[in-house]
Structure 1
Amino acid sequence: MFAIFGPFLVLGVNRMRVTRGLVTGFVVTNFVLAPLSLAAAGLDWLGLSRAGNWALADAGLVMLVLGIWQYAALRSLRR
């Protein structure tokens, strides 16, 4: 599904004018969920398999990287 509609979504998002509030919401969400998912994976809170915990930890790292990237974008929007 994403392979078909993904390029159209990317082109549509590139033409949108993003508000600071939207970017701030994503930054806060990523910075809140990243440590929670890393802790849940590291402490095995969800009872996942070893591979599931690794996937959850990877998702936490991706959220952290995206949060940093979005924070940098937010700072550039303020200028």
Structure 2
Amino acid sequence: MICYRIRKLHDEKEKAMADVDLALLAQQNAEILEELKALRREVAELKEQSDRTLDFERRNDPRRPNNLSRR
């Protein structure tokens, strides 16, 4: 009885695997990778922009002395 159930599950798994469209999966994978690359570029650009903004804010902070040697 157990062997029959195991065999049946195995056969169902084999059938499900045969129904997988590998070409479609490959295409979807390629699209996901392209989107990921674009998102990584966007994150890098935003980080660079944020760093420039923070540098500007630090330089223009009224609490910051104009000349560090005047302390």
Name the TM tier (shorter chain). 0.3 to 0.5
With normalisation by structure 2, the TM-score equals 0.35
Q: Relative contact order: is structure 1 or structure 2 higher (C-alpha 8 Å, sep ≥ 6)? A: 1
